[in-house]
């Protein structure tokens, strides 16, 4: 298997621990998106694309994150310690969507991605830099109902631009709590070791 292309989306704030999103192409014919490059305490490491594990509310069947204490839909109180345990005994809250099955492959992907990330940082300093990562806007904030409801009565076209301006302001104050917890969990699992 060869990694034939790596695309990087750098994050705006270099002080944040999430340094970039990235996609890799295998043998010129299969793309995996949504890898993350994260600044760990022992250097940058690559996290595989993962999904939050969910379960269903016993009352209304709505899906909730395993750490949710109340159902998002009906408010039913849920048991706090209901998440299954991983092999190391800690709560298993995420599952990788795509991942290497041995450490040799993991290290190879990681080493290639970290090199590509360094090159991307240099490219980004040049005028006319264009990011090649296919961004589907998953990280953007939706416009809330309140933002639209409480906008003063103005012509329709002006309403649209006001809502857009408000939502882009909200992006700068996005909550980091969940992500920081995820970084701590990945580090405990031994990610980032052996990298500079
Ligand atoms: Zn419910």
Could you tell me whether strands 50-52 and 43-47 are parallel, antiparallel, or unpaired per DSSP bridges?
Answer: unpaired
The two three-digit tokens of residue 129, written as one number: 């830099």
The model's pLDDT over 51-87, given as tens digits with 9 standing for 90+, comes to: 999 999 999 999 999 999 999 999 999 998 888 888 8
Task: Tell if the pTM clears 0.85, that is, is over it.
Answer: no
Fill in the DSSP letter of residue 129.
-
User: Which residues touch 74 (CB under 8 Å, ≥6 apart)?
Assistant: 57, 59, 60, 62
CA of 70 to the centre of ligand 1 (A): 8
- pLDDT computed for residue 115 by the predictor: 97
CA of 29 to the centre of ligand 1 (A): 42
Fill in the DSSP letter of residue 77.
B
CA of 170 to the centre of ligand 1 (A): 29
CA of 171 to the centre of ligand 1 (A): 29
- pLDDT computed for residue 168 by the predictor: 45
- pLDDT computed for residue 170 by the predictor: 46
CA of 157 to the centre of ligand 1 (A): 39
Give the number of other CB atoms < 10 A from CB of residue 112.
15
Taking ligand 1, which is a single-atom ion, which protein residues have CB atoms under 5 Å away? 57, 59-60, 62, 71, 73-74, 76
Closest to 132 in 3D by CA, of 3, 24, 55 = 24
Give the number of other CB atoms < 10 A from CB of residue 1.
10
- pLDDT computed for residue 51 by the predictor: 93
184 close to 38: Cβ distance less than 8 angstroms: no
Q: Which residues of the chain have pLDDT under 70?
A: 138, 148-178, 190-196
CA of 80 to the centre of ligand 1 (A): 15
CA of 77 to the centre of ligand 1 (A): 8
- pLDDT computed for residue 80 by the predictor: 86
Q: What residue ranges define each of the domains in the chain, with the CATH number in brackets?
A: 3-52+93-188 (3.30.1120.40), 54-90 (no CATH)
């Amino acid at each position: 298997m060869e990694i034939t292309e790596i695309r990087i989306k750098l994050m705006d704030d270099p002080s944040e621990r999430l340094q970039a999103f990235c996609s890799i192409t295998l043998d010129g014919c299969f793309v995996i998106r949504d890898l993350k490059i994260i600044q760990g305490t022992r250097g940058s490491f690559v996290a595989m694309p993962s999904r939050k594990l969910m379960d269903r509310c016993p009352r209304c069947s709505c899906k909730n994150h395993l750490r949710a204490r109340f159902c998002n839909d009906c408010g039913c109180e849920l048991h706090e310690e209901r998440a299954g345990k991983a092999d190391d005994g800690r709560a298993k809250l995420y599952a990788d969507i795509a991942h290497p099955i041995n450490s040799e492959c993991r290290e190879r992907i990681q080493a290639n991605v970290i090199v590509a990330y360094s090159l991307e940082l240099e490219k980004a300093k040049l005028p006319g830099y264009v990011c090649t990562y296919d961004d589907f806007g998953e990280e953007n904030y939706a416009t809330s109902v309140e933002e639209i409801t409480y906008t003063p009565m103005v012509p329709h076209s002006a309403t649209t631009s006001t809502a857009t301006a408000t939502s882009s302001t909200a992006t700068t104050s996005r909550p980091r709590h969940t992500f920081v917890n995820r970084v701590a969990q990945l580090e405990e699992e031994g990610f980032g070791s052996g990298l500079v």
